[in-house]
Amino acid sequence: MAKFQPGQSGNPAGRPMGSRDKLSFAFIEALNKTFEEEGEESLRKLMKNAPAQYHNIVAKLMPKLMELSGPDGSEIPFSGTVTFVKPSDD
């Protein structure tokens, strides 16, 4: 059985990096259509009436990984812990 060389995949003709599958693309298109028809007001209603669902949608649209750097491209020194805090229901 042939082994793959380092950096080679078993499916060289697979989906290009960064492309979306048909379902994801269809969902983004439908979301865009709804936004064009209903506008910002629909987002404001969702944020007010169902904030957890609103934030879940936003989180799912965010990149899974972000690389941060300083304005000159330098590394940002970071140490510590990131804590997520639930907003109050004021």
pLDDT value, residue 47: 92
Statement: residue 52 has pLDDT above 90? yes
Evaluate whether residue 27 is within a structural domain. yes
Evaluate whether residue 30 is within a structural domain. yes
Evaluate whether residue 13 is within a structural domain. no
Evaluate whether residue 10 is within a structural domain. no
Mean pLDDT computed over every residue of the chain: 78
Do residues 70 and 76 touch, judged by C-beta distance below 8 A?
yes
The whole-number average pLDDT for the span 62-73 is: 77
Do residues 69 and 76 touch, judged by C-beta distance below 8 A?
yes
Q: What is the pTM of this model?
A: 0.41
Evaluate whether residue 55 is within a structural domain. yes
Note the pLDDT tens digit of each residue in 35-51.
Answer: 899 888 888 899 999 99
Evaluate whether residue 53 is within a structural domain. yes
pLDDT value, residue 70: 76
What separation in angstroms does the CA of 85 have from each of 51, 82, 88? 14, 10, 9
The whole-number average pLDDT for the span 59-70 is: 77
> What is the residue range of 27's domain?
22-61
CB burial readout 36-74, b (16+ within 10 A) else e: eeeeeeeeeeeeeeeeeebeeeeeeeeeeeeeeeeeeee
